[in-house]
Copies of this chain bind each other. A is one copy, B any other.
Amino acid sequence: MVDAGAIVGAFEDGGYRLTSPRRALAGLIADRDSHFTAEELLVESRRRRLGVTRATVFRSLDVLADLGIVERLDLPSGEHAFVACEPAHHHHVVCSSCGRSAGVDDHGLEAVAAAIGRATGYRVDTPRLELFGQCPACQVS
């Protein structure tokens, strides 16, 4: 979904140092084709003997979320997870069954947010849409 190089590049562009744990995490995240939790990255990092510790996983995810490379998600199950973002897509549809996610284009969402702002008087800061559903593959099975 998202290239490891893009993640590494984001660290650099953001003025963060390029360390080997960060490179390792970039690889782990790039390998995911759906959402993932901090714990999953930690387990996978141990399995591959990458030597990234728990604290570093959390600290790095935090940085990447700030940089807009990953987005925090709250699954219907209540779990905290992340998805790697392609910059063009600000919103996601997440499959309730398998967790695979797809970035989605605007499709009128900004307009809806604006209408809601008008109706309620709120100044809407960060329209963030999380849709949950069944992905094509899971609809079949």
Which residues of chain A (86-112) have a CB below 8 Å from chain B? 93, 95-96, 102, 104-105, 107-109, 111-112
Interface CB pairs A-B, < 8 A, 30: A72-B78, A93-B117, A93-B124, A102-B122, A104-B120, A105-B119, A107-B112, A107-B115, A107-B116, A108-B108, A108-B112, A108-B115, A109-B112, A112-B112, A113-B131, A117-B133, A121-B136, A122-B131, A122-B133, A122-B134, A123-B139, A124-B131, A124-B132, A124-B133, A126-B132, A126-B133, A127-B131, A128-B130, A128-B132, A129-B129
Give the residues in chain B near A134, CB-CB below 8 Å: 122-123, 125
Chain A interface residues (CB < 8 Å from chain B): 72, 74, 76, 78, 93, 95-96, 102, 104-105, 107-109, 111-113, 115-117, 119-136, 139
